[in-house]
Amino acid sequence: MKINYIIKSSEQKYSKLFAEQAYKLCLLGMDDTALAGVFDISEDVLQQWKQEHKEFAAGIHKGRALADAEVALALYKRAVGYEAPDVDIRLVAGEVKQTPCIKYYPPDTSAINLWLKYRQPDYWADKKRSTTTTLDDLGNISEAEIDARIEALTQLL
């Protein structure tokens, strides 16, 4: 059975127009994998473009930073509550009446929880206690310590 692989062209020519496109795509939340797909290049070529074309790297950085800032602001507003312009629409005596107003959105506990978990993880993050030892953990201890742990476990049985 023959497997066909899609090979992205490293021959794709860079254009200065790509910097603006990358900026806009990053505003939409695209990561490097998605950007490479849009430009029909490999992720290695995308990294090469970032290094060789400062305006391209700047567009990506600027787009992601702005998108992150807007999302952080929206999350903050949801966490503390906010007011926003709205329109009250009512049917009065068979006639539709639109009245501008200010709507209050109270603080949202999910937004508060998320904000605190990431801004102050030492105080608010869920702490999971693990009693298991991974192979990585075993690489950092001596054989004598491993033997002692085995002995302690054996005595519990």
Q: How many domains does the chain have?
A: 1
Question: Is 88 within a domain?
Answer: no
pLDDT given at position 10 = 45
- pLDDT confidence of residue 102: 98
Give the distance from CA 45 to its chain's centroid. 23
Question: Residue 151 pLDDT more than 80?
Answer: no
Residue 121 CB contacts under 8 Å (≥ 6 apart), including other chains: none
What is the per-residue pLDDT across 71-110, written as a single tens digit (0 to 9) for each? 999 999 999 999 999 999 999 999 999 999 999 999 999 9
Residue 75, in any domain of the structure: yes
Task: Give how far the C-alpha of residue 94 lies from the chain's centroid of Cα atoms, to the nearest Å.
Answer: 49
Q: Identify whether the C-beta of residue 23 lies closer than 8 Å to the C-beta of residue 17.
A: no
In a domain, 126, yes or no: no
49 in Cβ contact with 87 (< 8 Å):
no
Nearest to 112 by CA among 82, 77, 141, 84: 77
Is position 135 within any domain?
no
59 assigned to some structural domain? yes
CA atoms in the 13 A half-sphere facing the CB of 51: 6
Report how far residue 92's alpha carbon sits from residue 82's, in angstroms, rounded to the nearest whole number.
Answer: 29
- The radius of gyration of the chain from alpha carbons, rounded to an integer in Å, stands at 27
User: pLDDT grade, residue 67 (50/70/90)?
Assistant: very high
Domain that holds residue 16: 12-80
What pLDDT band is residue 146 in, cutting at 50, 70 and 90?
A: confident
pLDDT surpasses 80 at 132? no
Q: Is residue 40 part of a domain?
A: yes
Residue 16, domain member (yes or no):
yes
93: left (phi over 0), alpha (psi -120 to 50) or beta: left
Torsions phi, psi for 147 (to 5 deg): -60, -40
Q: Would residue 139 count as lying in a domain?
A: no
